[in-house]
A and B are shown apart, each in its own frame.
Chain A
Amino acid sequence: MKQYDVIVVGGGHAGVEAALAAGRMGAKTGLVTFRKDDLGVMSCNPAFGGLGKGHLVREIDALDGAMGRASDYAAIQYRLLNRSKGPAVQGPRVQADRVRYRDAIRHIVAEAPNVDVIEAEVTALELEGGRVVGVRIGDDSALLAKAVVLTTGTFLGGKVFIGDRSFPAGRMGNAASTVLAQQLRGLGLPMGRLKTGTPPRLRSSSIDWDMLETQPGDDIPAYMSFLTNHTIAPQIACAITHTNPETHQIVRENLSRSAMYGGQIEGVGPRYCPSIEDKITRFADKDSHQIFLEPEGLDSDTVYPNGISTSLPAEVQEAYVRTIRGLQNVEILQPGYAIEYDYLDPRALDLSLQLSALPGLFLAGQINGTTGYEEAGAQGLVAGLNAACMAFDREPLHLSRADSYIGVMIDDLTARGVSEPYRMFTSRAEYRLSLRADNADQRLTPLGQTLGCIGDGRRVAFEEKNGRLQSARAKLTAKTFTPGQLRNAGYKISEDGTRRTALELLGLPGFGFDVLETLEPDFKTIDEDTRAQLGREMIYAAYLTRQESQIASLRADEARAIPDGIDYSAINGLSRELADKLSRSKPKSIAQAGRIDGMTPAALVLILARIQAVGRRESA
């Protein structure tokens, strides 16, 4: 029988990052997935990044994960979303060639230290003394491990719907994971159903591209990985088209035949990624919706029509698609469909993504109620790192809302649970002015170095870049100017008598590096990247200083951990309603408890008093 440190179940985006992360930590890792071909497969849209999601990719990259590098290898179009807004809310996004992405991931996994890929179906968790000690695979042999990471995606109890047809599947063309689903339900874990959908795939050569408006990528690409410094693949343009009243008419007439609308699906779908059925019903006054036609690859004849996911019967899909400009003669290669699957209420997890009730078991990705590759990958990374920490008997990694989007996501999931598939937005991050995509490495790479998950290549690159930043910062802070000096040099500045450092000047309107150079020629030696980085930092300088005290008190509250299994009903003075809410959402810290709806300062004081009392008793 084979003994691993860490076993990862599932070779999707969560599973791959989990296995790679555990491997980087030096854990002997087994990645078990249905088919070796699963690695790097994109179930839905051929794109990575975007608003909030781009931040996640950069954070995964900062901790030396694979997603950023693989998507740069696969990128056939770069676009920085919100380019006209400030850097904190800009989201790097790429359209990715499916084949290139899969190749990149396979290559990275093959080269990875300590990771074995095992092709098999996991049919059960091996339990012993209330812990998970391994997994049972299809042929009924067991694989043992000190920690197991479960990343079953849409496969757990998965069921595909096209119109009135439905059948068990993990996604189109793949078997569902039904046996394992049964075991999990039998364990009495808090589980539920969620759903999501995907649009039909179109044959590129049957589209009349010439009549459509095209959307090219950015002239200056914003790369997904901090390690990428040039564009790797040839770049292409997408096209834009729109639905029209005729399209809507057909969809409306057939609503009752839609799986989502006909009531066949009990699971809840995401409000922000609505199907065409949803859009037409909920926004009845709009007679046109935008569709991006995104080629799935350089050599691919498949096109992904972004914006019309559906679970109508195949013939209805064909009829409405053909009403759309440019798609009059289009051929559908694979009809759109909806999928419904099991997820686990993430409030049952602790901040390391371990299931509190079943030590040794970590969960990541779609199984935790999220949607999207980036959300899955980010959780996989954290679960993999923490599984390795457990295997080595080390303290787990807990990311904070104040240091990363990953921290925000895990905090949201574990404190609030989900009522619909969870995806990242920049507005979820209250400290987003400091949690930028451009400084993810500054925020997280040092943390990764301490933990031991950063490879040599990245370490060297980061230290070099960081060195340049620090020395430029030091130069700019050392040089100061009085308003008089600036006025004499011909620049406008308020006569408040304050001496300002060159760095502070950078935060004022009208003081770019072009101006600074005229004041101090030595600044000419600062390179372009460093300049851009410092410029972005200074835009928010005034706000960041104000946030500091808030962040400090958040960190203090996060540090006040609430022990597992605290009995809220026994806290005198806590209202029944609040006690119920607390027992349900199991806050991990005072910070999380404070965000529970209806929480009062008084109640927080009571909880605080209780955990202090518990602490005293334990340390006595």
Chain B
Amino acid sequence: MDTIFALASARGKSGVSVIRISGTRAHDVARAMAGSLPPLRQATLRMLRNEAGERLDSALVLTFAKGASFTGEDVAELMVHGSMATVAAVERCLAVDHGLRLAQPGEFTRRALDNGIMDLTQVEALSDLLEAETESQRRQALRILDGAIGRVVGVWRRHLVKAAALVETAIDFVEEDVGNFDTQILAELRAVEGGVQSELAGQRARERIQSGFEVALIGPVNAGKSSLLNALAGRDAAIISDVAGTTRDVLEVRMDVGGFAVTFLDTAGLRDTTEEVEAIGIARGKARAEQADLRIILHPADQPAMMIETTDRDLVVRSKADINAMPNGISAHTGQGVDRLLDQITERLSAMTARDGVTVRERHQQAMQQAATALTDAIDKIAEGDYIAELVAADIRIAINALDVLIGVVDVEDVLGDIFSSFCIGK
């Protein structure tokens, strides 16, 4: 395969820019530019020159050997001063003087996958890691990068293969009076079913780590939702982005809360209304809040009765605490209780993500759902007794295939396309 290079750090002005070269000629080209190469895996300062001998930049040069690098190929990394002109000069030298090719988006990762350095779930995790905005996203991605999904699925697979073998024995060796394995088969299947179900249960929260949690602020008109939102948003450093005015009914502000990406939704105030347009707005706000991961219900200190039905998913807070001097309430004006509210939110979100699961993506969910359905089918058949063995065997096969897809053993072409198209150049 040809040798490729690309800027591995963000493009634009920065302190240091990293240019990565991968392929059979990586070391030769780096040597030609740096005069000589430091020992593997030791960053050392070298003067880079082009073929005409002109100085390009003094840079840190770092090399990795085939089999022990990110891509699995020989790799050289040049850490140059982060000016656009310097980067351009080095890139020109690589392309024009040495005839290397600029990497396609995701091509380094693709090579890592091709070389067996990573499995599919790890590649996905890497893409998440590179895009991680928060601490929880980073930790989750790292865990998967470490092969966590592969390990969990590997264990399930062993149980299923065992169960399948037992079913097949009862089919193919009837003449050998081998006995009845139903109890054992059920035990194997239930072990996996339990595992898959608990993964599925924790899946939504883990997906939220990626996509962000939605926290809805609801309460009657003038309960202080907008001021609370402003107070939250006012804690400047926390804001990730504000997609304000997405709809006229729901206002969104995205921020980092205790390491979680959270989108606060400010819904239209609730009140009985006869005005049609407002009623529609309230209905939309309600529907959106209904789907949120957490609802914060504001109960203004100056209003006695609650108008809203609450559940244990909800956090109820007394707002406008400054008016009645409520010690546990919050006040957007004085800032009282805002930090405590943030802590409470963090606590709730941590509880949701506490399950020690590993699967994250929609694709994982679909595969597991398919496996879970097939397993339930198999278990039900056996539990009812007098079952058609080959159908149970077929169910188990479906489950195994589904899990195989999860770790990318089969049927991955579409997934590959999907993953690689979401990469940006050089990573």
Q: Does B277 contact A (CB under 8 A)?
A: no
The answer to whether B172 touches A427 (Cβ under 8 A) is yes
Using A85-B171, A290-B177, A573-B111 as known contacts, say yes or no to A430 and B397 having CB atoms under 8 A apart. yes
Q: Does B416 contact A (CB under 8 A)?
A: yes
The answer to whether B171 touches A426 (Cβ under 8 A) is yes
Bound-state CA distance A566–B279 (Å) is 70
Bound-state CA distance A350–B411 (Å) is 25
The answer to whether A433 touches B394 (Cβ under 8 A) is yes
**Chain B interface main SS type:** helix
The answer to whether B72 touches A573 (Cβ under 8 A) is yes
Write out the residue numbers on chain A whose beta carbons fall within 8 Å of the beta carbon of B393: 427
Q: Does B398 contact A (CB under 8 A)?
A: yes
The answer to whether A89 touches B389 (Cβ under 8 A) is yes
Name the residue on B nearest A549 (C-beta). Answer: B411
Bound-state CA distance A44–B141 (Å) is 61
- Chain B nearest CB from A570 CB (Å) reads 11
The answer to whether A81 touches B175 (Cβ under 8 A) is yes
The answer to whether A425 touches B388 (Cβ under 8 A) is no
Q: Does B410 contact A (CB under 8 A)?
A: yes
Write out the residue numbers on chain B whose beta carbons fall within 8 Å of the beta carbon of A603: 114, 116
- Chain B nearest CB from A375 CB (Å) reads 15
Using A51-B171, A430-B397 as known contacts, say yes or no to A553 and B411 having CB atoms under 8 A apart. yes
Write out the residue numbers on chain A whose beta carbons fall within 8 Å of the beta carbon of B412: 601
Q: Does B119 contact A (CB under 8 A)?
A: yes
Write out the residue numbers on chain B whose beta carbons fall within 8 Å of the beta carbon of A573: 1, 72-73, 111, 114-115
The answer to whether A543 touches B388 (Cβ under 8 A) is no
Bound-state CA distance A52–B173 (Å) is 11
- Interface 1/0 per residue, B86-122 and A, CB below 8 Å: 0000000000000000000000000101111001100
Bound-state CA distance A543–B115 (Å) is 37
- Chain B nearest CB from A65 CB (Å) reads 24
- Chain A nearest CB from B72 CB (Å) reads 7
The answer to whether A543 touches B394 (Cβ under 8 A) is yes
The answer to whether B416 touches A51 (Cβ under 8 A) is no
- Chain A nearest CB from B412 CB (Å) reads 4
The answer to whether A546 touches B410 (Cβ under 8 A) is no
Bound-state CA distance A51–B178 (Å) is 15
In the complex, chain A residues 437-458 whose Cβ is within 8 Å of any chain B Cβ: none
Bound-state CA distance A81–B388 (Å) is 15
The answer to whether B410 touches A89 (Cβ under 8 A) is no
The answer to whether A85 touches B388 (Cβ under 8 A) is yes
- Interface 1/0 per residue, A408-451 and B, CB below 8 Å: 00000000000000000111001011000000000000000000
Bound-state CA distance A272–B411 (Å) is 33
- Chain A nearest CB from B206 CB (Å) reads 24
Residue of B114, B174, B411 contacting most chain A CB atoms (<10 Å): B114
- Chain A nearest CB from B203 CB (Å) reads 23
The answer to whether B172 touches A52 (Cβ under 8 A) is yes
Q: Does B146 contact A (CB under 8 A)?
A: no
Bound-state CA distance A600–B115 (Å) is 9
Write out the residue numbers on chain A whose beta carbons fall within 8 Å of the beta carbon of B72: 573
Q: Does B390 contact A (CB under 8 A)?
A: yes
Bound-state CA distance A322–B411 (Å) is 58
The answer to whether B390 touches A88 (Cβ under 8 A) is yes
Bound-state CA distance A575–B118 (Å) is 13
Q: Does B391 contact A (CB under 8 A)?
A: yes
Write out the residue numbers on chain B whose beta carbons fall within 8 Å of the beta carbon of A426: 171-172, 390
The answer to whether A575 touches B391 (Cβ under 8 A) is no
The answer to whether B410 touches A601 (Cβ under 8 A) is yes
In the complex, chain A residues 71-91 whose Cβ is within 8 Å of any chain B Cβ: 81-82, 85-86, 88-89
The answer to whether B174 touches A82 (Cβ under 8 A) is yes
Bound-state CA distance A432–B389 (Å) is 12
Bound-state CA distance A550–B115 (Å) is 27
A605 CB contact (under 8 Å) in B24, B394, B401, B416: B416
The answer to whether B408 touches A601 (Cβ under 8 A) is yes
- Interface 1/0 per residue, B148-182 and A, CB below 8 Å: 00000000000000000000100111111100000
A81 CB contact (under 8 Å) in B73, B120, B174, B389: B174
Bound-state CA distance A290–B114 (Å) is 53
Bound-state CA distance A213–B397 (Å) is 39
Using A51-B172, A85-B388 as known contacts, say yes or no to A600 and B1 having CB atoms under 8 A apart. no
- Chain A nearest CB from B256 CB (Å) reads 35
Bound-state CA distance A489–B367 (Å) is 42
Bound-state CA distance A52–B174 (Å) is 12
The answer to whether A575 touches B171 (Cβ under 8 A) is no
Write out the residue numbers on chain A whose beta carbons fall within 8 Å of the beta carbon of B1: 572-573
Name the residue on A nearest B165 (C-beta). Answer: A427
In the complex, chain A residues 48-71 whose Cβ is within 8 Å of any chain B Cβ: 50-52
Write out the residue numbers on chain B whose beta carbons fall within 8 Å of the beta carbon of A82: 171, 174
Bound-state CA distance A539–B114 (Å) is 43
Q: Does A359 contact B (CB under 8 A)?
A: no
A602 CB contact (under 8 Å) in B73, B113, B175, B397: B113
Write out the residue numbers on chain A whose beta carbons fall within 8 Å of the beta carbon of B168: 425, 427
Bound-state CA distance A82–B174 (Å) is 7
Q: Does B409 contact A (CB under 8 A)?
A: yes
Bound-state CA distance A272–B169 (Å) is 11
Write out the residue numbers on chain A whose beta carbons fall within 8 Å of the beta carbon of B416: 601, 605
- Interface 1/0 per residue, A567-605 and B, CB below 8 Å: 000001101001000000000000000100000111101
Write out the residue numbers on chain A whose beta carbons fall within 8 Å of the beta carbon of B114: 573, 602-603, 605-606
Bound-state CA distance A59–B329 (Å) is 80
The answer to whether A89 touches B390 (Cβ under 8 A) is yes
Write out the residue numbers on chain B whose beta carbons fall within 8 Å of the beta carbon of A433: 390-391, 394
- Chain B nearest CB from A347 CB (Å) reads 22
Name the residue on A nearest B167 (C-beta). Answer: A427
The answer to whether B115 touches A85 (Cβ under 8 A) is no
In the complex, chain B residues 29-62 whose Cβ is within 8 Å of any chain A Cβ: none
Write out the residue numbers on chain B whose beta carbons fall within 8 Å of the beta carbon of A553: 411
- Chain A nearest CB from B49 CB (Å) reads 29
- Chain A nearest CB from B152 CB (Å) reads 18
Write out the residue numbers on chain A whose beta carbons fall within 8 Å of the beta carbon of B390: 85-86, 88-89, 426, 432-433
In the complex, chain A residues 502-553 whose Cβ is within 8 Å of any chain B Cβ: 539-540, 543, 546, 550, 553
Bound-state CA distance A345–B390 (Å) is 32
The answer to whether B388 touches A86 (Cβ under 8 A) is yes
Write out the residue numbers on chain B whose beta carbons fall within 8 Å of the beta carbon of A88: 390
The answer to whether B171 touches A600 (Cβ under 8 A) is no
- Chain B nearest CB from A138 CB (Å) reads 42
In the complex, chain B residues 372-427 whose Cβ is within 8 Å of any chain A Cβ: 388-391, 393-394, 397-398, 401, 408-413, 416
Bound-state CA distance A605–B416 (Å) is 10
- Chain B nearest CB from A371 CB (Å) reads 15
Using A290-B177, A432-B390 as known contacts, say yes or no to A594 and B115 having CB atoms under 8 A apart. no
Write out the residue numbers on chain B whose beta carbons fall within 8 Å of the beta carbon of A606: 114
Bound-state CA distance A83–B1 (Å) is 57
Q: Can you give 24 A-B contacts (C-beta < 8 A)?
A: A51-B171, A51-B172, A81-B175, A85-B171, A85-B390, A86-B391, A89-B389, A427-B171, A432-B390, A543-B391, A543-B394, A546-B398, A572-B1, A573-B1, A573-B111, A575-B116, A578-B116, A594-B410, A600-B119, A600-B408, A601-B412, A602-B114, A605-B114, A606-B114
Q: For the A-B complex with A572-B1, A601-B120 known, give 4 more contacts whose Cβ atoms are closer than 8 Å.
A: A427-B171, A573-B115, A575-B115, A606-B114
Top 10 closest pairs, chain A to chain B, by CB: A427-B168, A572-B1, A601-B412, A602-B114, A425-B172, A573-B114, A602-B113, A86-B388, A89-B390, A89-B171
Chain A interfacial positions (CB closer than 8 Å to B): 50-52, 81-82, 85-86, 88-89, 272, 290, 425-427, 430, 432-433, 539-540, 543, 546, 550, 553, 572-573, 575, 578, 594, 600-603, 605-606
